[in-house]
Amino acid sequence: MGKGVSGIIVAGGKSSRFGSPKAFAEKDGIPFYQHTIAAMEPLVESIVLVSSSELITKFTSEGTSVKIITDNPDIAGQGPLAGIYSGMEHLTSEWYFISPIDIPFINTRTYEILLEHIGAGKEAIVPIVNGRMEPLISIFHYSIKEKIKEQLRCNELAPRQLFQNSQVAYVEIDDADPFRNINYQEDLERYIKTREGGS
C-alpha cells in the first residue's frame, strides 16, 4: 500500500464515438474500469471513481469495490479537470494517481514507473509516450489542486494548460500499450489482435 497515495479514475464523457458507455465495455471479460482499478490498487490507499450522474446506478449495481461520486455541483460538466478536482476534494492524500476510464491495457508497472519520480517540489509527474504528453495518466501532488480550481473558475479546461505554471517531471516511457485509449469498438479489436500477434 502506497503511503499518502490515492487514485482518481475519471469516467465522465458521453462515449458517443464508442456507441455505449466505455466504462462497461470489456477486455478479457472484465469491464474497462476494473482493469484500471486492478492496476492502481496495489499502490494506493484508496480509489474514487468520478462518474456522470447517469451512470451512478450502473456502477452501484455492479458492486464495485471503490467509492463512486459525481462532479461537485458547481463544476459539473467541465471536463476531466472537474472530475480530478472533485476526486481531490473527496480524498485527502499527498499524491494522486490520475486515470481516464478508457485505457484497458494499463498495468501496475506503468504507475510504478511514474511513482519513482515523485519528490519534493514536484506538482505533477507526467508521462511522455512516443513524443506525446499524456496528461490524464499522471500523478498529481495535492498542491496543484488550487491551480485546478483557478483554471475551472476561468473556464480554462485543457489539462495541458495546467502544467505551464507548475513544477512538472516529464517521464519518457517506451511501452505505448498501457496508454492506448479506446474510442471505437474497432480500436479494441485491433489492439487485441496486435498484442496477440495478429494482423
**Among candidate residues 112, 122, 114, 113, the one with its CA nearest the CA of residue 168:** 122
Could you list the residues known to form a binding site, using ranges.
10-12, 22, 71, 102
Could you list the residues known to form a binding site for GTP, using ranges.
10-12, 22, 71, 102
The dihedral through the CA atoms of 95, 144, 137, 22 has a sign that is positive
Which secondary structure element, helix H or strand E, spans residue 163, and what is its range? none
- Cα–Cα distances (Å) from 15 to 20, 25, 125, in that order, read 6, 11, 27
**Residue 31 φ/ψ, nearest 5 degrees:** -60, 150
Could you list the residues known to form a binding site for Mg(2+), using ranges.
102
